[in-house]
């Protein structure tokens, strides 16, 4: 699985003009299931993100995790993280998991992150979403598990 994690002071996602997910301080996580991914990879990525030390401590160093600082996560499915741009100008997405597998793994990831103790808000798998956020830092981390 692939993820882009952005440290935020706030983030929200809307579908059709209605807010369906919103957080204050924490992380906005774009996540993509790849072909061959399984529940164990989703769980490993969730555990790593929950403990990822990207939040400031009292000395202004990135030394605290979502768990340490009580932050929340807004998790958005993002199949375009599977983009292959190695040939031509149009990205290919054939390495992304099939939609049914992608949705199942996205939901498993969100449950695994919540099981780590992180409050989780979500987008809607496969929907046309509008995501807004205030990136804190800016701090943006790309991960793969």
Q: How confident is the model at residue 98 (pLDDT cuts 50, 70, 90)?
A: very high
Active site residue 35: no
Which residues in the chain belong to E strands, given as ranges?
Answer: 2-15, 18-23, 26-32, 55-56, 62-64, 72-77, 120-122, 130-144
Q: What is the pLDDT of residues 11-22, one digit of tens each?
A: 999 999 999 999
Q: For residue range 59-76, what is the model confidence (pLDDT) as tens digits?
A: 999 999 999 999 999 999
Yes or no: say if 143 and 48 are a contact pair by the CB < 8 Å rule. Answer: yes
State the pLDDT at residue 131: 97
Cα 46–chain centre separation: 9
- Determine the average pLDDT of the residues in 66-87: 96
Residue 55 annotated in active site: no
The residue-averaged pLDDT of 36-47 equals 98
Confidence of residue 97 (pLDDT cuts 50, 70, 90): very high
CATH architecture of residue range(s) 2-137: 3-Layer(bba) Sandwich (3.50)
> Could you say which of 6, 78, 110, 122 is catalytic?
78
Domain boundaries, the chain: 2-137
Tokens 């830092």 map to which residue? 137
Active-site residue, from 6, 14, 35, 80:
80
Percent of the chain with pLDDT over 90: 98
Q: Which of 6, 55, 79, 110 is catalytic?
A: 79
Residues 6 or more apart whose CB falls under 8 angstroms from that of 8 comprise 23, 25, 26, 27, 28, 74, 133, 134, 135, 136
Given a contact cutoff of 8 angstroms between Cβ atoms, the answer to whether 93 and 84 are in contact is: yes
Q: Is 78 a catalytic residue?
A: yes
The band of 34, judged by pLDDT with boundaries at 50, 70 and 90, is: very high
96 within 8 A of 35, measured Cβ to Cβ: yes
Are the C-beta atoms of residues 79 and 29 closer than 8 Å to each other?
no
What percent of the chain stands above pLDDT 70?
Answer: 100
């Amino acid at each position: 699985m692939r993820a882009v994690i952005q440290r935020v002071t706030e983030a929200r996602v809307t579908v059709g003009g209605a807010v369906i997910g919103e957080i204050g301080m924490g992380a906005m996580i774009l996540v993509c299931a790849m072909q061959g991914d399984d529940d164990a990879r989703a769980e490993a990525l969730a555990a790593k993100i929950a403990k990822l030390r990207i939040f400031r401590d009292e000395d202004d160093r990135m030394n605290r995790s979502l768990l340490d600082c009580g932050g929340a996560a807004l998790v958005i499915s993002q199949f375009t993280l599977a983009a292959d741009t190695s040939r031509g100008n149009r990205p290919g997405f054939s390495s992304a998991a099939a939609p049914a597998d992608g949705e199942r793994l996205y939901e498993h990831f969100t449950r695994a992150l919540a099981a780590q103790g992180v409050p989780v808000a979500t987008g809607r798998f496969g929907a046309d979403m509008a995501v807004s956020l205030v990136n804190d830092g800016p701090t943006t981390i790309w991960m793969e598990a």
